[in-house]
Structure 1
Amino acid sequence: MSLPEIIELTPGQLSYWPEWLAEHQANRLFDLLLDKVKWRQDVITIFGKTHSIPRLQAWFGDPGTQYQYSGMVLEPSPWPDILKPLRDRVSSEAGEPFNSVLVNLYRTGSDSNGWHADNEPELGKSPVIASLSLGAVRRFRLRNISDKTRTMTLDLPSGSLLVMGKGVQENWHHQLAKTSRDVGPRINLTFRRIIKQPPGA
């Protein structure tokens, strides 16, 4: 295994592999997921108002890995065969026994994900999140929660793996902003570990 580039955020640390998957591997995985995943456009509730999320998504995981965010409840679909070995490999790189993955499809530059942290109660304290990018290059931004002048930007190519280590979700927000550039579709897989059921589950 190749060694990652370590990016110190203080507090928090990123581990980044720009070419974690070879180009042909990334392309094949992208095509398989695009074709085989049952994509859905869910609805979230923000400040009491409901909105269709500006992307498509799917949630896979072990039994009992229900996930809630923004008023939405995701029940896990069983792991597809194409994702099982990938989960194991990502878990080994991150040193974290991931048991679930949120798969997002950004169809065009108009699809996006706003400023947020992956800090839901079922992820436990100081979660580790691993993010695998496939398809079009998109710009990933981080912004310190207590000092919004502290920012970082990464252009994530197809086949790249970014692991957000302990301390990142508590101290940093991240986003994938809209872009007016003519970009193709992108699939992003964010591997997570559900350690307890959300309230009311």
Structure 2
Amino acid sequence: MLFADAPIQLANAELRLIAPWCDAATAADWFARLLAQTPWEQPSVRLHGRDYAVPRLVAWYGDAEASYRYSGLVHRPLPWTPLLAEIRRRVQESVGQPLNGVLLNYYRDGQDSMGWHSDDEPELGRNPLVVSLNLGGTRRFDLRRKGHGAIEHSLQLESGSLLVMAGATQHYWQHQVAKTRRPVAPRLNLTFRLVHAQP
């Protein structure tokens, strides 16, 4: 096992939550610097013939070849900043595998969200490793089996925590960060992944 923390026991999934992964002062420093340095965008996606603004702000960084497509959008990577390169180095040391891209999501308040989905795009490979670093406010992370409506498991992702999803997780499970009416602090989520070049 790579981690001392006990894994989350879900069938057909490999999930680990390392909390805390970094100390509170480091998490707060990274949060403030990333918030200020990142050229945030709010792209639109087309669903059923209508355009909808994504309910959060995003940015995609990575190696030059790490273009990433999801929700019908092609994200060309911004070059690594010194701070993101350092965070990536630490994350790679923790998981023992290379990662060549990171999606930053900025949830400004409880109305910013991420709908049900799996990270199963072809360029992520058959059993993708997705490593999620959480900074700032705590948000609930829900999991449900594909084809089922009910939430089967939820996690509270606190600042400084690292969620590792590997193996067959994306084949069998979907996840979301739902809207909430409860007051929540702004949150940054960095999801690192390995993007494979497509023929």
Which category describes the TM-score, using the shorter chain as reference length?
Answer: over 0.9
| 1:103–1:190 contact (8 Å) kept in structure 2 | yes
In the alignment, what sits opposite 1:71? 72
Question: How far 1:28 sits from its partner (Å)?
Answer: 0.2
Q: Is 2:81 the counterpart of 1:84?
A: no
Question: How far 1:95 sits from its partner (Å)?
Answer: 2.7
Matches within 5 A, 1:7-156: 7-149=8-150, 151-156=152-157
Measure, in 2, the Cα distance between the counterparts of 1:143 and 1:134: 24
Percent of aligned pairs with the same residue? 44
Q: TM-score, normalised by structure 2?
A: 0.95
Three-state SS of the structure 2 residue aligned to 1:83 is helix
Question: How far 1:90 sits from its partner (Å)?
Answer: 1.0
Q: Deviations over 1:36-75 (max 9, x none)?
A: 1011101112334321100000000001111111111110
| 1:57–1:103 contact (8 Å) kept in structure 2 | yes
In the alignment, what sits opposite 2:6? 5
Question: How far 1:2 sits from its partner (Å)?
Answer: 6.5
| 1:66–1:73 contact (8 Å) kept in structure 2 | yes
Q: Which amino acid aligns with 2:193?
A: R
Question: How far 1:147 sits from its partner (Å)?
Answer: 4.3
Measure, in 2, the Cα distance between the counterparts of 1:82 and 1:119: 28
Three-state SS of the structure 1 residue aligned to 2:179 is coil
In the alignment, what sits opposite 2:182? 181
Measure, in 2, the Cα distance between the counterparts of 1:140 and 1:149: 14
| 1:46–1:70 contact (8 Å) kept in structure 2 | no
Measure, in 1, the Cα distance between the counterparts of 2:74 and 2:49: 16
Q: Deviations over 1:87-127 (max 9, x none)?
A: 12212222321000000000000000000001111111110
Q: TM-score, normalised by structure 1?
A: 0.94
Measure, in 2, the Cα distance between the counterparts of 1:8 and 1:119: 21
Question: How far 1:171 sits from its partner (Å)?
Answer: 0.5
The unaligned stretches of length 5 or more in structure 2 are none
In the alignment, what sits opposite 1:159? 160
| 2:142–2:151 contact (8 Å) kept in structure 1 | no
The unaligned stretches of length 5 or more in structure 1 are none
Three-state SS of the structure 1 residue aligned to 2:159 is coil
Q: Which amino acid aligns with 1:23?
A: A
Q: Which amino acid aligns with 1:32?
A: R
